[in-house]
Amino acid sequence: MLLEGVYGSFKLSQESSKKLAQWIKDSGIVDPVDVEGLHITTTYSKVDPEVDILPSDKTNVRLDHKEFGIATYGRALVIEVESKDLEDIHRSAIDAGASYDYETYKPHITVSYNAEANENILPLLVPPDFDIILSHEEVEPLKEDDVTEDLPANSTANIAIYAKPITFKMFKRRNGLK
């Protein structure tokens, strides 16, 4: 089955991409996203919206590092961000007829699609301590061959996961033990 829709994402500025790539390396993140692949999805619609969705005219959107968090979304390790601008852009796409598979839109930057391999560093991982600048939004047709209806739009189920050896172990305390 061929699905058509629309995909929109904000690209990081070159400087922010370089800084984030260095943070990823310094943090020891396993299986990182390529520096060219760092982005924030604004629209992932499996159906064509009622009207054409054009890229936002917003440029140089600053994301405050004080609002960053670390999370896992399924198999993805992400940096959660707060941005009214991104939420407004997403909402305008929905208002134009775009679909969305989740109840709420949570802007984020995926840093690895192998969260399992990063489990040992998660408790110690702190978000970047620098602001990130988004340069511009790109919008393109979304075409996926053989997508099953039961997979979420941003599913990473088709991405192979390879565990990598970890050089240290972290132990969790059981409840009631000190």
Task: Clarify whether 108 is annotated catalytic.
Answer: yes
**Which residue from 137, 111, 115, 142 is spatially nearest to 55, judged by alpha carbons?**
137
Task: Clarify whether 136 is annotated catalytic.
Answer: no
Backbone angles phi, psi at 72, to 5 degrees: -120, 135
Measured CA to CA, the distance from residue 124 to residue 121 in angstroms comes to 6
Measured CA to CA, the distance from residue 12 to residue 108 in angstroms comes to 12
Catalytic residue among 72, 110, 148, 156: 110
Catalytic residue among 42, 43, 90, 108: 108
Catalytic residue among 39, 42, 43, 90: 39
Terminal CA-CA length for the chain: 55
Catalytic residue among 41, 42, 43, 90: 41
Task: Clarify whether 110 is annotated catalytic.
Answer: yes
Task: Clarify whether 59 is annotated catalytic.
Answer: no
* Residues annotated as part of the active site: 39, 41, 108, 110
